[in-house]
Chain A
Amino acid sequence: MNAPGLLRTTWILLRKDLLLEWRTRARLNALIFFALATLLLFSFALGPDTTLLARHGGGYLWLALLFASVLSLGESFRVEQENLCLDGLRLSPTDPQAIFLSKALGNALLLVFLGLTLLPVMIAIYGIELKMGLAPLLGILTLGCTALSAPGVVYSAIANHARAKDVLLPLLLFPLVIPALLAAVKATTLVLQGDPMAQLGSWVGLLSAFNLIYWGLGLVLFPRVIED
């Protein structure tokens, strides 16, 4: 299948996933409340010291997003398993790369939306400030969420068919995304607290490289994962 076909199929699949999501809104609601609970728990674990909470706000945001991403990724293939939807998709026939792209984009969108929802809450309960404004933060949020989603979708497709899938997905995903998490946390912290040493560029570069490698690998490897 050539490139325009691939993009069109991706768009159709993505619209289907988003429509399903919009009709129930079950996953999004669950994710939001789960992430909010996580943020609250961090403040309980550290005590009510607002300066401490504000200083590490970037880290908490990304941990909440990482934990939520496991739920979101697991759900995105559980939906396809009901009534053998994934087999139906493949037989229709759909380019497996389009399935990968749509699932990864869908998850990234959901996570970015989740991050934006958490932001006002963090301003309220942690007292964080946006020293560099919203636009760079939105960029880092997007890069970080796509970095979690691309390898996450490949692993979720694998874990979904294995025994003990709830354990397996985080076990595989967490060590893998450590560099992305590190870069996203550093970059977010710099955006929140200002960047006197001009370090932001290298972290954004690392995050972009991670994205490039894993979106590329996902496109190549994902078709092998779901073949029968």
Chain B
Amino acid sequence: MRYPTGRLALQSASLTVQPGELAVILGANGCGKSTMLRIIAGMIKPTGGEVRIAGRDITQLAGRALAEARMALGMVFQQPHLVRRRSVLANVLTGTLGRHRTIYTALGGLPRAEIPHGMGCLKQVGLSHFAQQRATTLSGGQAQRAAIARALAQRPRALLADEPVASLDPEAAEEVMRLLRQLATREGMAVLCVLHQPELARRYADRLLGLRQGVIAFADAPDKVSPAEIDSLYEGFHPA
């Protein structure tokens, strides 16, 4: 992947995430983690290569077809990005809008038929009791779990998480990581997660991917990756 500015952000990086697997990408700032995630999510087009979701190459798609293909991917961001004034359930239901393109939903209506499904998603993340509350009333960890429920409401085959715990305290971070782990193990979801905490990654991931200057440096089970290898990713970034 080369940006129009000429900067080479990612090269010959190839990875596959299996259903039921939680893979974590580690790497220093600017190593190409975000670029990789954005390409996989179809937000930017790579200059070469392909992204297959359930066998279908999304780099060849555009517009509506791309939007539909992207529905197979649930995104979780660094911030929960909830609509703060709406209820938690309403926020979760917005995840289903892609499959309900009607005049009613275009004018702000929520697909009623999806309410049981939305409640199911909230139950999965342990927030059933908060369904009717405004999103502002949630704590940081709860809000991030609600954001995951919104991604689940989309009925994705895979979850992409871009530093999902970066803005959370350690306890809430554990909560969110536990949840992602469960979704992979119990629901058979393929989860690809960018993390800045090697220690969390080690405990929750099935596979660690080290990214250094746009190249995958290692990709292996956590117990086969040495601490030195992980440290080498961040060399030069922590002068102290």
Question: Is the pairing of A and B real?
Answer: no
Interface residues of B (CB under 8 A from A): none
